[in-house]
A and B are shown apart, each in its own frame.
Chain A
């Protein structure tokens, strides 16, 4: 076959990987700094801004390094590593916005990106007979943010070592008990930066890790799942995760069908987190004020929202805090504005809704990021105590395939999975066939019997749904794995609507 010579002298193709900004992936992963540093990011952003003739421009940089391993059928199904990079320049003109991006670091690519942005900007300005838009908060100086602890050295090391340390242990535990393993071991390091050519200098770096295990007997007739997620790899115990999954699977053999209906439900933190995924979007201030959410004063009408009104059990308090020790998140949002600690629901009363910067200016409200990393404060009842106090109910280890049905009422549907048990007379009675459910946080957070201690819940395989993609992208949350940490307690609720039986295991 004729081989083609590689022309590395062509402008635009760097002759060394990553040019001068940072070394190649394999070198970075061996290093303590796998993602672009603050200095590198600021220098790069400054360089891009210096190429632009726009008087107001943003540069956004995101750099992510992944090391993931997927287990299936007792073996590694795929082991995957690499990095992704995105550099965007954003310019506003009149009523329009221009965003141009690249994933290349060489000067030719960067200059091309800026030239395209400038050229489109000039075209639109000419057509619009408009002047370049100055964002109302564009002139705000902002270069200090709350200190977070999202970036953990143990997780950086785990980018290299997690596979070799965790996988054999997981396989040993599950195989050793005669079950088959599916699972996931993922480690991520990430850096984000925003710079404007006037005053904003935002940078954040973070790590995150997730281990999940599904154990099934060879006949596939029962299933147990367990997961753990943490910013800090050293806080994850893969053996405990695998052991828990096997034990649930062992208890799950010989399932029987019980009638669907409204029953008391005891929900693990992983199950609660799945139920609250869509609850986040109820706090969209613009939509709520416009009559499109459960907090709206009048559905379908722009009459505002029911602040200070009681929607939930008085024990329900929901907060977000970038410095949350069990999770936390980037301390700035959107175009680099500070993401402050916020109380959304206090004692069951609605306290706060999220308005982005433009919406906040329009509505004369304080701006806030959506509560993607929420903490649902809890109580001190253990799951064992919940079971002991339950005369007749269902224990749910995990929900899956949860999707939004109606944003006005917060209705969601989904199925139980990987551990669903009948509770009778204070004990786990038997495994039962899975259910489909239909409920809303506006119902089950009003039917609380008991709450446990909150913890970071693992999501596991929880792809974004269409509704989430639409709502999240609208409000600035990105759609990468892993999902932002959610800190939730186990819950015991009455009258949970298990409305149909399903055949899926």
Chain B
């Protein structure tokens, strides 16, 4: 399993809870603060969770599903079945949910069929497997027999993927954690949230936002080849910020170390959490004192802090290097400005090197992907040259010649992802790492000589287009003159064409400027959410187009 994320439903539940909390706090003068809670009991959410489906049952159901698919005529089939628990403790609300889901993928006459379900019963799983085979057979009849995925390249050529099932593998694995968040008493979760808010409030004008979504999932993968894998996955998606607000004057800062990742409760059970929150609030307060102003429309040099750079990289490189996009698999869902004929070509400044992995400090960390493949670290962009893609078993054959020319073994990079066990399997970005400069390059160095330009020190939003050729950035930019912050810019949007922007990367920060970020990415139809994380150093770009709009 991969870039684990809450399902849309879970996210909805979480955010609705948070919202409800905000409304309560805003509307009830006599509201009772939860920080009066004392640890009278020590019951954890786990204590009430007595319906967990045993791992053996999940495995047995998975094996049964692939047996049924084979007997029904599938030349290959695999299944993902999972039980997932979620926990959303907050200031004013506690949410928890348990769900069993599964999805069966079956190949008949070279065409996939997919069916999903939720009942962990033999009959239901049997029928789900049969439905997947029936859908594959029907799809094959309707669209004409073919191979598993003759995908036209971006130039219109047909690539023969020579699809073959992944190697047989068996095993079990668990996300390395120290403390299972589901064993922590509910009050302790709530008290932590209150303590953080109280700490932030010590800074005049500041308020804290503390929401952490915890996920625990046992996911079993089985295939007709004989593969059988069990992974116990822990994920955390924190949204912990310090905000300083004076009317419409708001600065919101996240705590760099607390980002979406594969981890346990130890992430927040750290001695310096309160200090980090207070420091973030003080920094936000300092930034609110920079006066507002405007800037003329035009092109300006741009410095992005590490987390803003990480966000940008997820959107314009992480997604563009998904191999199914690059192959032009589905023009409606979206393709890429980096088709295969760009391999080996310069697509960015020589300063840019971006690696993908599913073993490091990110939210996509797994031992095996949803094809049952052990992921490998891969460098998608090396010194500005496009070098590799995020791939799956289905898509990887398109790179066979490239790998052989470079004396590498053709392989999937292990980026097949079904975010929920019941979701369809697609290529998704792994954890991304942008390599920092080796020299001493703190962020101040990047703008100290800037005569007039833009500096972004807080989180940003990035939107792009269906081929990721262009985009817009919004957030809280500052104007820099002669190396000094002179004003906060209102009513501006930064727009770019991707390739010129990346080729205009002029300098990159050192390891001290590296920050993480994570963003939602969505793919498929109906669309499936995914969370992608990256870490990146600060960066200086030659220019970005700044447009303004009136109030």
Contact = CB atoms under 8 A, between A and B. Distances in A.
Interface string A118-139: 0110011011111000000000
Nearest to B248: A300
30 contacts: A6-B57, A7-B56, A8-B122, A13-B120, A17-B127, A25-B127, A68-B525, A70-B524, A72-B330, A73-B328, A77-B330, A83-B117, A83-B118, A97-B20, A98-B93, A101-B13, A104-B98, A123-B186, A164-B142, A214-B331, A220-B328, A300-B249, A361-B27, A401-B466, A461-B332, A473-B12, A478-B12, A481-B525, A500-B545, A503-B497
B469 interface: yes
Interface secondary structure of B, over-half rule = mixed
A252 to B, nearest CB: 13
Instruction: Indicate the member of A94, A417, A478 with the most B CB atoms within 10 Å.
Output: A94
Interface residues of A, number: 136
A17 B118 CA distance: 9
Interface stretch (A37-45, A193-201, A423-431, A462-470): A462-470
A461 B115 contact: no
Interface string A59-76: 000100010111111111
B452 interface: no
A469 B15 contact: yes
B28 A95 contact: yes
B439 interface: no
Given A4-B59, A98-B94, A358-B23, A13 B248 contact: no
Interface string B41-57: 10101011111011011
A359 B549 contact: no
Contact of B151 (A6, A14, A73, A411): A73
B21 interface: yes
A419 interface: no
A403 B495 CA distance: 13
A468 to B, nearest CB: 10
Contacts of A382: none
A3 B27 CA distance: 58
A481 B465 contact: no
Contacts of B260: none
A24 interface: yes
Interface in A485-505: 499-500, 502-505
A127 B520 contact: no
A503 B48 CA distance: 55
Given A127-B37, A130-B32, A17 B123 contact: yes
Contacts of A219: 156
B97 interface: yes
Interface residues of B, number: 134
B332 A7 contact: no
A102 interface: yes
B437 interface: no
A181 to B, nearest CB: 9
Interface stretch (B60-68, B261-269, B342-350): B60-68
Instruction: Indicate the member of A3, A225, A414 with the most B CB atoms within 10 Å.
Output: A3
B121 A16 contact: yes
A84 B61 contact: no
Contact of B25 (A95, A167, A434, A505): A95
A124 B470 contact: no
Contacts of A116: 45, 48-49, 96
B94 A120 contact: yes
Nearest to A71: B143
Contacts of A231: none
Given A80-B135, A115-B48, A216 B331 contact: yes
Nearest to B42: A123
Interface of B: 8-9, 11-17, 19-21, 23-28, 31-34, 36-38, 40-41, 43, 45, 47-51, 53-54, 56-57, 59-61, 63-64, 92-101, 103, 111-124, 127-128, 130-131, 135-136, 138-139, 142-144, 146, 150-152, 154, 156, 170, 185-187, 190, 226, 228, 247-249, 328-334, 337, 422, 424, 461, 463-470, 472, 474, 491, 493, 495, 497, 519-520, 522-527, 529, 545, 547, 549-551
A434 B64 CA distance: 50
A186 B8 CA distance: 18
B493 A413 contact: yes
B9 A86 contact: yes
B53 A13 contact: yes
Contacts of B13: 88, 99, 101
B51 A104 contact: yes
A13 B60 CA distance: 13
A220 B156 contact: yes
B127 A24 contact: yes
A99 B59 CA distance: 30
A378 interface: no
| 9 nearest A-B residue pairs (beta carbon) | A300-B248, A127-B37, A481-B526, A17-B124, A463-B522, A82-B116, A116-B48, A473-B15, A362-B27
Contacts of B464: 401
Nearest to A171: B143
B143 A76 contact: yes
Interface string A173-188: 0000000101110100
B549 A84 contact: no
B10 to A, nearest CB: 9
B248 A79 contact: no
Contacts of B142: 76, 163-164, 167-168, 171
Nearest to A93: B32
Nearest to A73: B152
Nearest to B549: A411
Contacts of A257: none
A479 B526 CA distance: 11
A236 interface: no
Nearest to B470: A502
A502 B466 CA distance: 11
A382 B392 CA distance: 48
Contacts of A47: none
Contacts of A456: none
A280 interface: no
A76 B191 CA distance: 52
B34 A100 contact: no
A78 B115 CA distance: 10
A99 B522 contact: no
B526 A503 contact: no
A78 B470 contact: no
A408 interface: yes
Contact of A97 (B93, B474, B545): B93
A475 B213 CA distance: 20
A504 B468 CA distance: 8
Contacts of B33: 95
A469 B333 contact: no
Contacts of B469: 502-504
A299 B117 contact: no
Given A4-B56, A88-B97, A94-B31, 14 more contacts: A75-B146, A82-B116, A95-B28, A120-B94, A126-B40, A127-B187, A171-B143, A301-B247, A401-B466, A473-B16, A481-B525, A500-B470, A500-B545, A502-B469
Nearest to B329: A72
A76 B109 CA distance: 12
Interface string A146-160: 000000000000000
B160 to A, nearest CB: 13
Nearest to A215: B331
B352 to A, nearest CB: 20
